[in-house]
Structure 1
Amino acid sequence: MPIFKLSTNLPAAKLPAGFLERSVDLVAKTLGKPKSYVVVQVLTDQLMNWGGSDGLCAVASVESIGALGRDVNKKHSKAIADHLQKELGIASDKCYINFVDLNKANCGYSGTTFDDLL
């Protein structure tokens, strides 16, 4: 049940067509999770400032049950940073990415939790 959340000061009008779908594909691939479980949420037009500059920037989080950890997060970070640079023009040094490894008993889905499903 990976969730990729992105908050950025990029104007909504500049979000490329198909960005959400390509982001779902990227997250599924890098985490090795089924595409059908991946959720991508993008909040554009956020009031943001990075180090005193109002240039293009973002903060992101990747939440997942498993598939995260010290060594693999470096791979995920690179894949996501490259994706944001290519798709949105957000430089890798203007985006923080938080990785959150979720407990399956604390994630509800379809009237139960992933503790019962996995």
Structure 2
Amino acid sequence: MPTLNIQTNVPLDGVVTSDILKDASKAVAQILSKPESYVLISLRGGIPMSFGGTEEPAAYGELISIGGVGPDTNKRLSAAISDILKTKLSVPSNRFYIKFFDVKRSDMGWNGSTF
């Protein structure tokens, strides 16, 4: 059930978003050692956003998972996602924040129930 939500001020017109979604999905599944069939990635572009007082390319992400997150894993996830954003959207690594959430099974719904 890992879920990665990314918002960026970069317009997505002309961007092959499926490549970003595929790369992020694979990275999240691999790093968290979770089945990719449970990974959800969302990407919203063209969001008004200021980082450091400028509107240059920037992004914010949130990764939610039932377990698997922690200091070492979070560093690896941050690096992988940052690399995808830099390569695919030209968002510099120093203009991207990501917050990690480790949630209880009872706090995530799926298939009409909870995990």
Aligned position for 2:110: 109
Identity rate, percent: 35
TM-score by length of 2: 0.92
Q: Which residue of 2 aligns with 1:90?
A: 91
Q: In the alignment, does 2:34 pair up with 1:9?
A: no
- Structural RMSD (CA): 1.2
Give 1:17 deviation, angstroms.
4.3
The CA deviation at 1:62 is 0.6
What is the rounded CA distance, in whole Å, between the counterparts of 1:17 and 1:45 in structure 2?
13
Asked whether the 8 Å contact 1:11–1:44 carries over to 2, the reply is yes
- The runs of 5 or more residues in structure 2 that have no matched partner are none
Instruction: Name 1:61's counterpart in structure 2.
Output: 62
Query: Which TM-score applies when normalising by structure 1?
Result: 0.90
2: CA distance, partners of 1:110 / 1:35: 17
Q: Is the 8 A contact 1:8 1:56 kept in 2?
A: yes
Q: CA–CA distance in 2 between the matches of 1:104 and 1:64?
A: 9
Equivalenced residues, count: 114
